Amino acid sequence: MKKLITALAIVAALFVAGKAQAQFSVNLGFAPEAFKTDIHKDPTGMPLINTRSEHGYGGYYVGATYNFNLTENLGIAVGGQLRWDRENKSKSIFGTLEHRHIENLFLVDVPIMLNYSFNLNRDWKITPFIGPMLSYGLGGNIKICDQDYSNATTYPWYGTHDWGYDYNRLNLYGVGGLVVSYSHFNLSGSYRYGLLDLDSNDISTVHTSGFFVGLGYTF
C-alpha cells in the first residue's frame, strides 16, 4: 500500500511540475472473473486435503486513464474504472430445476500500470504493461426466484446470511497485458490475479482471477 501511495505521489509531483505529459484515454470491454475457494479445514478445524471450487461470473467494465510520459516511450498509467460482475443461471437438485439464481456485483478499480511503447510506424504501436490494481466492492445483490422470474427474494451480495458472501471488499491484483494502438484507437488485453485472501476465516482461502479485453480511444 505504501508503494502505491508513493507511486501516485511521484506522478502527481511530475504533473504539477510540468515534467510529465499526460494522455487521456477512455475504454470499455469485457472482464469475466472467477472466485476460487480452497478449503483447508473442516468446520471443527480438522485439516483436509485441499478442496477447490470455482464460481465464475461474466463481467463488463468502463473506465478512464491518464498515461504520464516519464520518458519518450516509458510511461505510468493511473486510472479508475467501474466493473460489473453478473451471473444468471438455474440451480438444480438431483437433476430437477429448483430456482433461478441471479447475482450482480459492482466494483471500482484503480490500476497503476508501468508501460513501454514500441512504435512500429507513424500510426501503429504496441505497448506492454504491468502493475498493481486496487479494487473495492461497492455492493450488489443476489436474487432467488422461480424459473419464470416470479416469487423473487433479494439479498445483499456482501453479508453473513444464508445467501450472502462473507468476503472482504478490498482486493489487490497483479495485472499484466498488452495494448495494440492504431492512431487514437486502442485494443487491449490483460490478465489479473487477486493477491489477497478475501475470506476472513482460517478454514478456507478465496482468490479471484480474470482477464480484461477492451476497446479504447486516446484523446
Cell triple for 98:
429448483
Categorize the per-residue pLDDT at 19 as very low, low, confident or very high, splitting at 50, 70 and 90. Answer: low
CB 212 within 8 A of CB 190: yes
Is residue 52 pLDDT above 50, yes or no? yes
* Angle subtended at Cα 193 by Cα 10 and Cα 104, rounded to the nearest 5 degrees: 105
For β-strands 185-194 and 153-156, DSSP reports them as unpaired
pLDDT at 149: 81
Categorize the per-residue pLDDT at 127 as very low, low, confident or very high, splitting at 50, 70 and 90. Answer: very high
pLDDT, tens only, 176-204: 999 999 999 999 999 999 999 998 777 77
Mean pLDDT to the nearest integer, 84-93:
82
CB 26 within 8 A of CB 64: yes
pLDDT at 20: 56
* Residue 144 identity: I
pLDDT at 17: 46
Higher pLDDT, 203 or 41: 203
Across the chain, what does the average pLDDT equal?
Answer: 85
To the nearest whole percent, how much of the chain has pLDDT over 90?
Answer: 58
pLDDT at 100: 87
Domains and CATH numbers, the chain: 2-218 (2.40.160.20)
pTM summary value: 0.81
